[in-house]
Amino acid sequence: DTVLREVAQAATWHGGQLRHQEFRPADERQVAGEADTGAGAYDLVLALRGTAPLPDQALAVETEFRRRYGDHADPLGDEGFVLARHGHGTVVLADAPAGLLYGLFHVVRLGESAFGADRPVERHRPAMRLRMLDHWDNVDVHHQTGQVERGYAGGSIFWRNGRPHHDPARLRAYGRLLAASGVNAVAVNNVNVHATEARLLTDRLGDVAAIAELLRPYGIRVYLSVSFAAPILLGGLSSADPLDEKVRAWWAGTTAQVYDTIPDFGGYVVKADSEGQPGPFAYGRSHADGANVLAEALAPFGGDVHWRAFVYNHRQDWRDRSTDRARAAFDHFAALDGQFRENVVLQVKHGPMDFQVREPVSPVIAAMPGTRLAVEFQVTQEYTGQQRHVCYLAPWWREVLEFGPWGAGGPTVATVAAGPATDDDGSAPTAGGGLVAVSNVGDDPFWTGHPLAQANLYAFGRLAWAPRLDPSAILDEWIDLTFVPSATADPELLRRTLHEIMDDSWRTYERYTTPLGVGFMVRPGHHYGPDVDGYEYTAWGTYHFADRDGIGVDRTRRSGTGFTGQYPQPWSDVYESLEQCPDELLLFFHHVPYGHRLHSGSTVIQHIYDTHFAGVEQVAETRRRWERLSAAGLVDQGLDARVRERLDEQLRSAQEWRDQVNAYFLRKSGVPDAQGRRIH
């Protein structure tokens, strides 16, 4: 089995704190050997349950495990594992090879502590069955968006010059990186499907198969973004009408060929009727009709279609205050609940707009109990500093995942994405759509442009596996796996400084850009740097409505767009109410005068000034902290140089944000800064 072979190989990988280890595959169902952590040599056994003969330690752990979970039909699933320390050995047991792989990476993560005193049987299984990265990669370099749309880490890791990127070692390393983070699926091309990329589905399928082959040993399935117009573009049909028999037959035949070539193919990702992509609306059909025809083609092979809910009018009339982009996904999809086939996953962006630094949770997540939902995050930092700024996003994602759309104590966003749990500890996923994110990886030597942006990739995978993990603990894991502090002169300084730099970096970014939930104010097109009115008089539906008296979008039922009415209680009323609406989302839901007083006691205008000054100060402090690390020689020189260059840019950019935003609002409002600071 390829995954088991990888387990055996991965075990000899010098990573984390497990170095100099040697493993000898006992037979093809077990890997056993010795791990030398530097502090001592230990037995490590990785074995599939039910295979005989198990080594003695494994047998003991198996007996203990059965005693605890014996009457449970499927205690581990195909990715879970048991970890225990017994006698002189550490044992990982799983029911399927992928479980051993995840178990091995867990041992690497634990390092020395995996080999401490006896630890009782621990059971691990992922909360989300699907933990997926969407690559917005083009095979060709696209004239507007470059090779990787919203990519900030060089070219594509999969494609180069219109061909597959021939670096199998790099792709294998990527597979290992993803498996170590917990990711088990990737879509290998952009959701905006251009002509060359459309052909990946048919005559260029071999290129996709080659990627699938390299990632398979790491338990990763491959998905393709496909064009809804593929029957026309590739099949020579005159229509892509989902209710047309010829169209149905084309999808069925094409999909059967895909599975002939890639038997474990994951499925399709579709962006339809959105930002210029073709879709069912052209034929007067619903998005359920559209999704179901693809789902029907995939069903015989166990594949899923990920149908994106990011559908809105990007050519709206900005003079017409009654339209509201935030409403769009709910308006299009909520009424379709119950109409999608079982293998349709509706993929919903976590917020109603578009990956801003702060948004409320999308009301779609609470509106479709009869549909499998996947929640989509953006690891690539399109609106959060484009991997030039440090912005550790895990605290934000964790907040979203723990949010209860029906109020405290009810289901959370994480439980909706995981699907109804069958297990008493809530860990066994059934039919949820899982967690998906837009990837931040490219062919950059540091993978992610900004070396510290790797932590976002890692944290995404970890939160998809275990949504309740503490972002700060995830950061600890990432620091230990990445920098191996124990091998440095001052591990405490390294860990502490990285925490100081990263823990609060998302809130810092929010302070010097767009606080209070107002969003956007970025330069149109590339979305980097400030331009307060850049989108204000355009057709994109992203406005702040600032004038001389006030700012914010009135989305109330009483006097605004009625968006608050898309939420169930209690949030519908909380957001509707000016008194109850949380400060950080105030301008998302309300248009208020500059003198409006926040819960914090400050006024809106003073809050804008204060946060912008404070944010820049924090970035300057971040830069000083990093300099202490470099001076102490605690990080690799190449990495140090890259981070310094980025921090210089972050500081420059933060100052630019501060000056433009503060000057803009000083001029609009005429209200001076209470502290008399100089505003340019």
CB of 344 to ligand BDP, least distance (A): 18
CB of 310 to ligand BDP, least distance (A): 5
Closer residue to ligand BDP in complex, CB, 132/191? 191
Query: 62, 296, 382, 443: which is the annotated catalytic residue?
Result: 382
In the list 355, 465, 483, 594, the residue contacting ligand BDP (rule: CB under 6 A) is: 355
CB of 189 to ligand BDP, least distance (A): 12
Least separation, in Å, of the C-beta of 362 and ligand BDP? 13
Nearest residue (CB) to ligand BDP, 184 versus 378: 378
Residue 271 interacting with ligand BDP (CB under 6 A): yes
User: Is residue 137 a contact residue for ligand BDP (CB under 6 A)?
Assistant: no
Report if residue 138 touches ligand BDP, rule: CB under 6 A: no
Q: Judged by CB under 6 A, does residue 150 bind ligand BDP? A: yes
Asked if 542 is part of the footprint of ligand BDP (rule: CB under 6 A), the reply reads: no
Tell me which of 64, 78, 275, 331 is the catalytic residue. Answer: 275
Q: Which is nearer to ligand BDP, 79 or 354 (CB)?
A: 354
Is residue 350 near ligand BDP by the rule CB under 6 A?
no
Helix 245-261 / helix 205-215 crossing angle, nearest 10 deg? 40
Tokens of 544: 């702040």
654 in Cβ contact with 619 (< 8 Å): yes
Per the rule left: phi > 0, alpha: psi between -120 and 50, beta: everything else, 517 is left
CA distances from 601 to 86, 160, 578 (A): 57, 54, 14
| 197 touches ligand BDP by CB under 6 A | no
DSSP states of 562-594: -GGGGSPTTHHHHHH-TTTS-GGGHHHH--EET
What does the block give as tokens for 146?
């470059």
- CA angle at 324 for the pair 366 and 369, rounded to the nearest 5°: 15
CB of 292 to ligand BDP, least distance (A): 21
What is the enclosing helix (H) or strand (E) of 26? strand 19-27
∠ CA 177-180-186, nearest 5°, is: 60
Among 21, 37, 192, 662, binds ligand BDP (CB under 6 A): 192
Q: Which of 157, 179, 180 is nearest to 170 (CA)?
A: 157
By CB under 6 A, tell whether 191 contacts ligand BDP: yes
Residue whose C-alpha is closest to residue 191's, from 269, 76, 280, 275? 269
Compute φ and ψ for 227, nearest 5 degrees. Answer: -85, 135
Nearer to ligand BDP, 6 or 354 (CB): 354
**Closer CB to ligand BDP, 29 or 271, in the complex:** 271
Interface residue with ligand BDP, options 296, 382, 444, 554 (CB under 6 A): 382
Q: Which is nearer to ligand BDP, 218 or 310 (CB)?
A: 310
Q: Does 86 bind ligand BDP (CB under 6 A)?
A: no
Number of residues near ligand BDP (by CB under 6 A): 10
477 touches ligand BDP by CB under 6 A:
no
Q: Is 273 in the site for ligand BDP (CB under 6 A)?
A: no
Q: Which is nearer to ligand BDP, 190 or 669 (CB)?
A: 190
Smallest distance, ligand BDP to C-beta of residue 382, A: 6
Q: What is the length of the chain? A: 680
**Which residue number, 37 or 542, has a Cβ lying nearer to ligand BDP?**
542
Residue 434 gets which letter from DSSP? Answer: E
CA angle 128-133-138, nearest 5°? 160
Q: Can you tell me the distance from the alpha carbon of 357 to that of 543, in angstroms, rounded to the nearest whole number?
A: 15
Strand order in the sheet with 81-86: 19-27, 30-36, 41-48, 89-94, 81-86, 122-124
CA distances from 466 to 129, 451, 462, 501 (A): 11, 24, 6, 24
Closest residue to ligand BDP: CB criterion: 354
Q: Which of 241, 273, 354, 554 is catalytic?
A: 354
Cβ atoms within 10 Å, residue 677: 12
Binding mask 563-592 for ligand BDP (x = CB under 6 A): ------------------------------
Active site (annotated) includes residue 79: no
Q: Which amino acid is at 262?
A: I
Active site (annotated) includes residue 584: no
CA distance 382 to 453: 12
310 binds ligand BDP (CB under 6 A): yes
**What single-letter amino acid sits at 322?**
S
Q: Single out the residue of 6, 79, 95, 149 in contact with ligand BDP (rule: CB under 6 A).
A: 149
Q: Judged by CB under 6 A, does residue 332 bind ligand BDP?
A: no
Q: Is 362 in the site for ligand BDP (CB under 6 A)?
A: no
For residues 241 and 382, which CB has a smaller minimum distance to ligand BDP in the complex?
382
Does 354 qualify as catalytic in the annotation? yes
- In whole angstroms, the minimum distance from the beta carbon of 47 to ligand BDP comes to 43
> Rounded to 5 degrees, what angle do the CA atoms 444, 447, 448 make?
95
Would strands 267-270 and 137-142 be described as parallel, antiparallel, or unpaired?
Answer: unpaired
End-to-end CA distance of the chain: 65
Question: 3-state DSSP call for residue 340?
Answer: coil
Q: Which residues bind ligand BDP (CB under 6 A)?
A: 149-150, 191-192, 271, 275, 310, 354-355, 382
- Active-site amino acid positions: 275, 354, 382
